[in-house]
């Protein structure tokens, strides 16, 4: 991303941002100051709330939602009665434990995100004592508490939560963001068991490889412990630890000391408990392996364990998709939560949820109706009769093509016979006494006949 100063073409720094909106990024403090004076102050995104708009819920049993190293999260209401969560970060800790630029990087990245499985950051405020993050409220607390309350989850329960986390992580990776601290404590549960990934304190852009030692030890990938360069694969490793913990009720690498735990992680040494299906074991093993061997999110969502519990979508193979970016295509395969669509000579894979969000369903009566509807954006259902008609038309087209080919071949053979006869005549001394005197005429006639073949094509 380029510096937001229009007179600068340098790449922006992820930690130099406008402190008011946290959306504009700059390459230097000088560019930030200059752009504020000339441009940005007139267009800076205003705050949604003021501290006077927010009221902490007074019920002592429910107002405190959580507490971290740098502050606490409280339940609040707006003047309109909307429930939100307020995360407060003490300014006394900002310079000693949290670099100010790191905090504003978190706010900048988080505020730019918008996805069903990402907790929404509505606004950020501050007073003389604290910086406040105004967040979406997740009614059911975090996944860590949920797992401990149930001891461990069934595979179907784990499947529901795991696939949602995968969708959220896929969105982050598409936005070039690495979370770097995926764990049950940072996964919240909203209404209807909707997963919400939260806490972007360690997030970073994945445009370049990282080597920062950060995160939570139980969920750290081996490359982080080794201080190697790493990228999106660290989130994939964390997904493997998460799935293991949901199914067992504890993390896979358990030891009496951190040093011993690090060795287990580096050696990738863990055991499965009883009652875990072979499909789940296979997926976990594929995630808790070397970085270059780990699958990406789409590959995860095609895994046999995902397919085992996936419900059939409201569409199937041979449905026609009209996509806003790729045009019209046909669904050729559905595997787990991934749908493969053929667009002419290319094939694209889509997460089914993403495809549904971009498309609508329509059933048409005939081919003309299909052609009329195909210019819009939608998922079009081919009924049986329409499919048969299209297949018949394809077959007729193929037959005509082969008929034309046979005609062309017949014409070619006739021309060849004619050519051979002419050649015999021209080469015969009895039929052409002038042959030895004027061979050029033979060649001229021969070339003339060859030129007539230009209109005969296969």
Judgement on whether residues 110 and 126 belong to the same structural domain of the protein: yes
Q: For residue 185, say whether it is annotated as part of any ligand binding site.
A: yes
The strand pairing partners of 54, in sequence order, are 78
CATH code of the domain in which 121 resides: 3.30.200.20
- Boundary of a domain, candidates 120, 136, 152: 136
Is 136 annotated as ligand-binding? yes
Measure the CA–CA gap between 25 and 432, rounded to whole angstroms: 90
Render pLDDT for 364-382 as a digit per residue (tens, 0 to 9): 444 555 445 444 445 555 5
* Structural domain boundaries, residue 15: 1-46
Q: 59 with 122, same domain? A: yes
Output the pLDDT for position 391: 52
- Among 309, 341, 365, give the residue marking a domain's end: 309
CA angle 74, 112, 246 (to 5 degrees): 60
Q: What is the mean pLDDT of the chain?
A: 80
Is there a single domain that holds both residue 150 and residue 259? yes
Residue 171 has what pLDDT? 96
CB neighbour list of residue 444: distance below 8 Å, 6 or more residues apart: none
pLDDT in the model for residue 115? 95
Q: Is pLDDT at 125 greater than 70 in this prediction?
A: yes
How many domains are contained in the chain? Answer: 5
Q: Do 180 and 203 meet the contact criterion of CB atoms below 8 Å apart?
A: yes
What is the pLDDT, as a whole number, of residue 223? 94
In this predicted model, what pLDDT tens digit does every residue of 19-36 receive, in sequence order?
A: 676 667 777 878 877 777
Catalytic residues: 181
- Judge whether 391 lies within some domain: no
- Strand pairing of 361-363 and 378-381? parallel
For the stretch 380-417, pLDDT in tens is 555 545 545 555 655 565 565 555 555 556 666 666 66
186 assigned to a ligand binding site: yes
Q: 137 a known binding residue?
A: yes
Is 123 marked within a binding site?
no
Structure tokens at 451: 């030129």
To the nearest 10 degrees (0 to 180), the angle between helices 143-150 and 233-248 is: 30
Distance (Å) of CA 326 to CA 239, 332, 346, 349, 447:
31, 15, 10, 12, 49
In a domain, 11, yes or no: yes
- In 10 A of CB 217, how many CB atoms? 13
Considering the domain boundaries, does residue 252 fall inside one? Answer: yes
Tell me: do 291 and 418 sit in the same domain.
Answer: no
354 appears as a binding residue in the annotation: no
């Amino acid at each position: 991303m380029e510096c937001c100063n229009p007179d600068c073409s340098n790449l922006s720094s992820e930690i130099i941002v406008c402190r008011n909106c946290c959306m504009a990024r700059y390459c230097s403090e000088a560019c930030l100051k200059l752009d504020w004076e000339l441009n940005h102050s007139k267009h800076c995104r205003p705050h949604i709330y003021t501290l006077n708009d927010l009221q902490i819920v007074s019920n002592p049993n429910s107002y405190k939602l959580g507490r971290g190293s740098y502050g606490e999260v409280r339940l609040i209401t707006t003047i309109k009665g909307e429930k939100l969560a307020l995360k407060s970060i003490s300014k006394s800790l900002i310079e000693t434990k949290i670099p100010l630029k790191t905090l504003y990087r978190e706010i900048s990245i988080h505020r730019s995100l918008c996805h069903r499985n990402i907790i929404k950051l509505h606004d950020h405020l501050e007073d003389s004592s604290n910086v406040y993050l105004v967040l979406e409220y997740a009614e059911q607390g975090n996944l860590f508490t949920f797992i401990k309350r149930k001891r461990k989850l069934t595979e179907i329960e784990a499947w529901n939560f795991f696939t949602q986390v995968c969708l959220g992580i896929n969105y982050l990776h598409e936005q070039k963001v690495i979370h770097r601290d995926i764990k049950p404590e940072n996964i919240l549960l909203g209404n209807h068991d909707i997963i919400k990934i939260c806490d972007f304190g360690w997030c970073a852009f994945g445009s370049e490889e990282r080597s920062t030692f950060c995160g939570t030890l139980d969920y750290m990938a081996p490359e982080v412990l080794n201080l190697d360069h790493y990228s999106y694969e660290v989130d994939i490793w964390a997904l493997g630890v998460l799935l293991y913990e949901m199914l067992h009720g504890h993390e896979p690498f358990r030891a009496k000391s951190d040093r011993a735990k690090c060795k287990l992680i580096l050696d990738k040494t863990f055991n499965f408990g009883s009652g875990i299906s072979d499909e789940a074991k296979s997926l976990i093993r594929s995630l808790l392996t070397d970085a270059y061997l780990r699958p990406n999110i789409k590959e995860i969502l095609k895994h046999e364990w995902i397919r085992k519990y996936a419900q059939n979508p409201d569409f199937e193979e041979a449905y026609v998709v009209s996509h806003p970016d790729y045009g019209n295509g046909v669904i050729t395969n559905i595997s787990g939560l991934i749908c493969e669509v053929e667009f002419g000579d290319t094939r694209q894979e889509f997460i089914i949820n993403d495809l549904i969000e971009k498309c609508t369903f329509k059933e048409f009566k005939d081919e003309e109706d299909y052609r009329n509807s195909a210019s819009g954006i939608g998922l079009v259902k081919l009924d049986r009769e329409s499919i048969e008609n299209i297949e018949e038309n394809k077959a007729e087209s193929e037959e005509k093509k082969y008929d034309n080919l046979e005609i062309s071949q017949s014409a070619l053979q006739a021309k060849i016979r004619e050519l051979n006869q002419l050649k015999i005549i021209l080469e015969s001394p009895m039929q052409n006494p002038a042959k030895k005197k004027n061979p050029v005429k033979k060649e001229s006639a021969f070339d003339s006949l060859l030129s007539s073949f230009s209109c005969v094509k296969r």
